[in-house]
């Protein structure tokens, strides 16, 4: 009886994993298909990969510029968010809970509402989209709150006496900030940065409303391809990209797990 139950449990887990992974795995397999469809297998080929990894074709430059945008947005968000977190943490209760509340708005708001309202602002203050400022600031609105949400818990865990001790021992406040507070909240800062990168890479709606017309991100490009529905070579080269991304992520996760297990082993 117990065995049947435990079998059913793992069967359920397996089915859900199948649901999550089947589409990605299927695309991975068919990224090696000679044809540009998954309806029939016409022999093994690396054509999709060759097409994708050629700088003369559209996809690779778009992937690279999406990455560059993500790094810029994440860096700016992390700096702004970290400074903001420290400020919020040491503000009076009323100020800090007000700012924390506003900080929650972009987190829980529907993305399309965030995007449309931000687009209204862009029109109102008349900043041309071709300056990239609307795009970068728009994505910062999306990312910075998450930086704050990752940094503030670390500030709470911190031992406040250390900062006071540093001041008593003659450190200037700036020095104490950089050499006492920052190292302790570093894990939160890194987490916020990584989260911002993934949010920016994943964003479609904000980018669609704020990007310069000539600029494409991965999301907006694939979405525009789906609308046209014709350019199959480009579309299937993105399958190759999906496969590559997926394999990189799997490799990273396995490495992280191995490292974690080794650490756990050492402790024991």
77-106: which residues touch other proteins (CB under 8 A)?
Answer: 80-81, 83-92, 95-96, 99-106
Binding positions for other proteins, 35-64, rule CB under 8 A? 38-39
| Cβ neighbours around 181 below 10 Å, total | 21
Is position 190 an interface residue for other proteins (rule: CB under 8 A)? yes
Is position 160 an interface residue for other proteins (rule: CB under 8 A)? no
Q: Which of 53, 71, 72, 111 binds other proteins (CB under 8 A)?
A: 111
Q: Which of 166, 201, 206, 234 binds other proteins (CB under 8 A)?
A: 201
**Sign of the alpha-carbon dihedral angle for 27, 28, 30, 33:** positive
CB 50 to other proteins: min, Å? 19
Tokens encoding 186: 């570093």
Binding positions for other proteins, 129-148, rule CB under 8 A? 137, 140-141, 144, 146, 148
CB 112 within 8 A of CB 176: no
Q: Which CA distances in Å does 105 have to 85, 101, 237?
A: 16, 7, 37
How many residues lie near other proteins (CB under 8 A)? Answer: 95
Strand partners, 44: 33
Side-chain half-sphere exposure of 66, counting CA atoms within 13 A: 22
Q: Which of 69, 74, 166, 205 binds other proteins (CB under 8 A)?
A: 205
CB 199 to other proteins: min, Å? 9
CB 247 to other proteins: min, Å? 11
**Rounded Cα gap, residues 157 and 150, in angstroms:** 12
Tokens encoding 198: 């993934």
Looking at the Cβ atoms of 128 and 173, the one nearer to other proteins is 173
């Amino acid at each position: 009886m117990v065995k049947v139950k435990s079998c059913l449990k793992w069967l359920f887990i397996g089915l859900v994993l199948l649901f999550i992974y089947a589409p990605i795995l299927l695309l991975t397999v068919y990224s090696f298909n000679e044809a540009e469809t998954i309806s029939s297998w016409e022999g093994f080929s690396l054509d999709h990969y060759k097409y994708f990894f050629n700088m003369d074709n559209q996809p690779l430059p778009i992937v690279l510029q999406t990455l560059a945008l993500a790094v810029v947005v994440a860096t700016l968000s992390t700096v702004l968010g970290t400074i903001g977190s420290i400020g919020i943490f040491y503000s009076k209760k009323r100020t800090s809970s007000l700012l924390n509340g506003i900080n929650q708005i972009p987190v829980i708001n529907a993305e399309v509402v965030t995007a449309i309202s931000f687009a209204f602002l862009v029109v109102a203050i008349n900043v041309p989209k071709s300056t990239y400022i609307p795009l970068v600031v728009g994505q910062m609105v999306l990312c910075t709150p998450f930086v704050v949400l990752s940094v503030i818990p670390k500030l709470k865990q911190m031992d406040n006496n250390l900062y006071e001790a540093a001041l008593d021992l003659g450190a200037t406040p700036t020095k104490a900030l950089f050499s006492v507070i920052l190292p302790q909240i570093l894990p939160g800062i890194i987490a916020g940065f990584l989260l911002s990168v993934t949010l920016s890479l994943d964003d479609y709606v904000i980018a669609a409303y704020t990007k310069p017309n000539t600029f494409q991100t991965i999301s907006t490009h694939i979405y525009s391809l789906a609308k046209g529905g014709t350019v199959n070579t480009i579309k299937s080269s993105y399958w190759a990209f999906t496969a590559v991304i997926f394999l990189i992520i799997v490799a990273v996760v396995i490495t992280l797990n191995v490292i974690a297990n080794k650490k756990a082993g050492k402790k024991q």
